[in-house]
Structure 1
Amino acid sequence: MARAFARSISFPLSPSRSSSSSKPRAPSSSYHARSVSLPCRSHPILAHLHTHIRAVRAWAQQGLSALVASVAVGLAHVDALQAALGDLLDLPEAQAALSGAGGSVDRLLDSFLRLADAHGCFQEAMVALKQDVAEALAAVRRRDGARLASAVRSQRRAGKELARLAAAARECAVRPSRLSILSGGQGSAAEVEVTGLLMESAAATASASAALFGTVAALSASVASETCSCNGTASLVCLVTKNKKKKAAPGFGEDETAVAAVAERLEELEECIEELETGSEKVFRSLVQTRVALLNIHTLHIF
């Protein structure tokens, strides 16, 4: 048993617990519930990391309507998870455990690279979508049906790109689970525990990213559909043409109400995109920093 504990990560106890541990006390079987890689009273960083993983997973598992109302919250949860990962990777004990997990670290580096690329593409898609929405709004205000139709077509293309990114993120969520199978039972208990936390964090991040990209794609598609649908009062392209011919007609006021309603939906989407821009930039940088920290640990071990 002494050899097994000698290679484990030995995280210190909190000050209050450290003072009480100086007094002799009888051993308790409850203190041996965890693996040998970490002490039973886990380091605060680990508890913090588990809390953020649960928060990210809980957000990603909500229904579409709840996700639409909290897309910025989802980004904040992912950013907080990456910050907690950074705290873990700063620990010398965690770095020592990862230094011997070469193959696992290689695959984790690949997973975080894919996630960073996905969020980089998400930022580009947000820029394009914001331009399309602004163009659609300008067309609505100027009663330019041809310009509006062109803007909506571009908006739909941006939505398809977001749907593709969501599918790619879902694939990233699958890869860490494969990694856990490949590395199961290999390496020290410390290596297994730390790589397992990284795998779980990558999978949670990928799931939340897929939910985020899919939600924005669905929101964009919904607004585009309302803008161009010929059913009900949202047939804006049709209304623009009709309004040019019916400015003095009795029903003009109702048509104006319909135009205003669609313009309001476009403005709401524009506000949502602006809210996401800052959050997506932070998440992208956090993912890059996580990968750089992993790469540094891996490189130091090689050389």
Structure 2
Amino acid sequence: MATANHSRSNSFPSQSHPAIESVEDHLCRLRADSKSIFVISNLASLTNLHEGINDLIQMPSIQQTLSQGNWINELLEGSLKLVDLCAISREIVSLTKESVQDLESSIRRNKTKTATSSDIGAYVASRKQIAKMVNKSIKNLKSFNHKSTIDNELWRMMKEAESHDLSVLKSVLILLSGENEKSSKTSWSLLSKFTSTQNSRVNSESGAEDLSSLNIQKSTKNIDSKNLLKQLKSSEMTIQEIEEGLESLFRSLVKTRVSLLNVLSL
């Protein structure tokens, strides 16, 4: 243990180093927001965190620590799983947006006061497929290794970042399923907190996302087309912001993984 601590003190930069402070600052913010349901802002925080981690990995002293550690392969394995999870989340959000847009188009094309049963049926079928993908992805989170006896400051930060990644991406998946993490409601509802396009933008920007309006029961009849279109449009705007947040995070995760792989070639 003394040897490990000595190695860490020689190769790991001072805690006052700007790159270290930047990463620690982002981690502190994510710790403070650990109970937050504000998915969009948390995605942005994760992107900033990984940009800081990528800058950190570019430092010669950090590269030396990584190249000497026999645990870099585990970091690479974790980074690959995160990239895959984020990619799947992007696919799910894309399918969600597509199903919403298809229903919107059908309602406008039919020009009826109430949504037709065939339109609702097709939409519900697509939502069921998306729900299966979400459940499978959440189950796969168990494959991540959360236990370690490694005593290294860089390792601690990387594993904490991974933990935040998993937590936020899980929240994204739950949100896209139309469920609410706090209430854990299981019934499919047409209710929505978004009463207008303007309110939707305000709620979305503040992080108060709610996509419960995505889940519609097939047995529901006489749904007012005008109100349904408003709800779907509001949800679509939030979905778009989540999609943009996931895209930025995905690029940052890939960049971090490439930086780790480059260390192996040194």
TM range (shorter): 0.7 to 0.9
In the alignment, what sits opposite 1:282? Answer: 248
Distance (whole Å) between structure 2 residues aligned to residue 115 and residue 170 of structure 1: 12
1:115 alignment partner, one of 82, 102, 119: 82
Q: How many residues align?
A: 229
State the alpha-carbon separation in 2 of the partners of residues 6 and 159 from structure 1.
Answer: 50
Quote how far apart the aligned CAs of 1:109 are: 0.5
Q: For residue 257 of structure 2, what is the amino acid of its counterpart?
A: R
Match of 2:238 in 1: 272
Give the aligned partner of residue 161 of structure 1: 133
What is the alpha-carbon distance in structure 2 between the residues aligned to residue 86 and residue 137 of structure 1? 41
Is the aligned partner of 1:228 residue 2:217? yes
SS in 2 for 1:228: coil
Cα RMSD, aligned residues only: 2.6
Structure 1 position 46 matched with structure 2 position 17: no
C-alpha contact (below 8 Å) 2:39/2:171 kept by paired residues: no
Distance 1:292 1:154, change over 3 A: same
Matched residue, 1:15: none
More helix by share: 1
Give the Å deviation of 1:74. 1.5
CA distance in 2, matches of 1:202, 1:6: 26
Sequence identity of aligned pairs in percent? Answer: 23
- Superposed displacement of residue 5, structure 1: 8.9
The aligned counterpart of 1:189 is none
Alignment match, 2:193: none
Is contact 2:96-2:176 (8 Å) kept?
no
2:23, 2:53 within 8 Å by CA — same for their partners in 1? yes
TM-aligned CA distance change 1:42 to 1:5, over 3 Å: farther
Q: Could you tell me which of 59, 62, 65 is aligned with 2:33?
A: 59
Deviation at 1:162, TM superposition (A): 2.5
Distance 1:45 1:207, change over 3 A: same
Unaligned ranges ≥5, structure 2: 181-187, 189-211
1:138 aligned counterpart, secondary structure: helix
User: Match of 1:214?
Assistant: 174
Unaligned runs of 5+ in 1: 12-36, 185-191, 241-257
Cα displacement (A) at 1:105? 0.8
Match of 2:41 in 1: 73
Cα distance in 2, alignment partners of residues 57 and 136 from structure 1: 39
Pairwise CA distance, 1:106: 0.6
Following superposition, the deviation at residue 169 of structure 1 comes to 3.7
Q: 2:242 is aligned with what amino acid?
A: L
| Moved >4 Å (runs of 4+) | 3-11
Alignment of 1:129-208 (within 5 A): 129-141=96-108, 142=110, 143-169=115-141, 171-172=143-144, 175=145, 177-178=146-147, 180-181=148-149, 183-184=150-151, 192-208=152-168
1:165-185: CA deviations, max 9, x gaps? 23434643xx1x32x22x35x
Residues 169 and 207 of structure 1 are in contact (CA less than 8 Å); yes or no, is this contact kept in structure 2? Answer: no
8 Å CA contact 1:140, 1:148 repeated in 2:
no
TM-score normalised by L of structure 1:
0.67
What is the distance in 1 between the residues matched to 2:6 and 2:33?
39
Q: Which AA in structure 2 matches 1:97?
A: T
Q: Matched residues in 2 for 1:50 and 1:133: separation?
A: 39
- Residue 191 of structure 2 aligns with which residue? none
1:10 to partner: Cα distance: 6.0
Q: Which has the higher contact order (CA 8 A, sep 6+)?
A: 2
Q: Secondary structure at the match of 1:108?
A: helix
Deviations 1:121-142 (A, max 9, x none): 1111111111111112223332
Map of 2:95 onto structure 1: 128
What code does the residue aligned with 2:217 have?
Answer: C
Q: 1:8: how far off? A: 4.5
Structure of greater Rg: 1
After superposition, the C-alpha distances for 1:34-73 in whole angstroms (9 at most, x for unaligned) are xxx554x5212212111212223433422xxxx2xx3221
